[in-house]
Amino acid sequence: MLILGLETSCDETACAVVAVENAASERPRGRALSDIVHTQAATHARFGGVVPELASRDHLQRVLPVIDEALRGAGVTLDEIDGISVTRGPGLIGALLVGVQVAKSFAFATGKPLVGVNHLEGHLLAVLLSDDAPAPPFLGLVVSGGHTSLYAVSRIGEYRALGHTLDDAAGEAFDKVAKLLGLPYPGGAVIDSLSKDGDRRAFAFPRGLSRKRRDVFDFSFSGLKTAVATHVASHRDDALPDLCASFQEAVCDALTLRAVRAAKHAGLTQLVLCGGVAANSRLRALAHERCTAEGIALFLPPPRLCTDNGAMIAMAGASHLARGERWSEPSANLSADPGWRL
């Protein structure tokens, strides 16, 4: 099955062609024949964050060239595609509309089946594009700029939320602290790099919520952000790498502690780490350390599959299409949903 996946939920215009085997099973496997991502990071850098209107305009300019490049890279034509999958939420409404309208137009013109998928499901199933991928059940920690959530995945298509962030997402906290420290946007990668030369025990920043409550799987990062701001205001001469390492440790400690606890609470022995922040080197190392200690198998998609991409959307869509799910009248039935919950 060849699936064209289109992703425009935020500030990446992405398209991929993925060959999927056993798409209707609990062990589907995908191989990206092409995976094209145009990032808008340079566009939004001077504002210190994503400007929705600029994001939408850039998607409009880039979406068709990106799709063309993905088809050329895969060596296929649109007629050879078996189905189209597009992100319909959650995300920025203007950005989502670009992808949804283009996907609907292609489906209408070609008669190809179309399915709209949840962006978070895409992240959860991105691991199926790896050589070593788990079969459900597993726990998924989705951690990115807009989302920080824990999902029990009983089977593909069946997800149960165990915890969410109560305020800032982890990636959002990275970007806000980076801006506070005068670092460029996007801040996550910069903080990760600086942290390698810092002492993560230099400053005892808060973890958010009580560590003693073993039945709490939510997250909170706004207090951590405030603590860093307060510290910087009164300690202007502290070494930047130490600040970055201590902040990063607080985030990664909270994420991995609750993920492991949630897995044990739900009786799950597999943990999938996904989303843009899953590319963070300290998060990956600490997750491995804690999972090994608790006898939990850890699955980490390669960093390229952690950030937003079209391949993960194709992978998620393939399972739906293989089960017969589709929007039979794409011009009328498929709409963007910026607040769509998984």
| CB environment 182-221: b (16+ within 10 A), e (fewer) | ebebbbbbbbbebbeebebebbebebbbeeeeeeebbbbb
For the chain, domains (ranges, CATH) are: 2-125+308-333 (3.30.420.40), 135-300 (3.30.420.40)
* pLDDT level of residue 331 (50, 70, 90 thresholds): very low
Residue 212 reports pLDDT greater than 70: no
Contact 228, 244 (CB under 8 A): no
Directed axis angle between helix 222-234 and helix 170-180, to 10°? 10
Give the tokens for residue 336.
């963007």
CA distance 58 to 139: 35
Looking from the CA of 322 toward its CB, the CA atoms found within 13 Å total 22
Mean pLDDT of 155-174: 94
197 vs 235, higher pLDDT: 197
The 10s digit of each residue's pLDDT in 118-158 is 999 999 999 999 888 899 999 999 999 889 999 999 999 99
Residue 1 reports pLDDT greater than 50: yes
CA distance 268 to 311: 26
Contact 328, 143 (CB under 8 A): no
CA distance 132 to 51: 37
Using CA atoms, how far residue 121 sits from 40, 94, 296, in Å, is 23, 20, 22
Q: Which residues pair with 14 in a beta bridge?
A: 7, 37
What is the SS3 assignment for 25? coil
Give the tokens for residue 124.
């959860």
Using CA atoms, how far residue 243 sits from 49, 83, 198, in Å, is 21, 48, 7
The 10s digit of each residue's pLDDT in 60-109 is 999 999 999 999 999 999 999 999 999 999 999 999 999 999 999 999 99
Residue 201 reports pLDDT greater than 70: yes
Mean pLDDT of 316-342: 82
Residue 329 reports pLDDT greater than 60: no
Return all residues near 58 (Cβ < 8 A) that are at least 6 apart: 11, 13, 40, 43
* Range in 62-66, 191-195, 235-239, 261-265 with the lowest mean pLDDT: 235-239
Q: Where are the alpha helices (DSSP H) in 111-198?
A: 119-125, 170-180, 187-195
Mean pLDDT of 159-181: 94
* Range in 99-103, 233-237, 328-332 with the lowest mean pLDDT: 328-332
Contact 137, 153 (CB under 8 A): yes
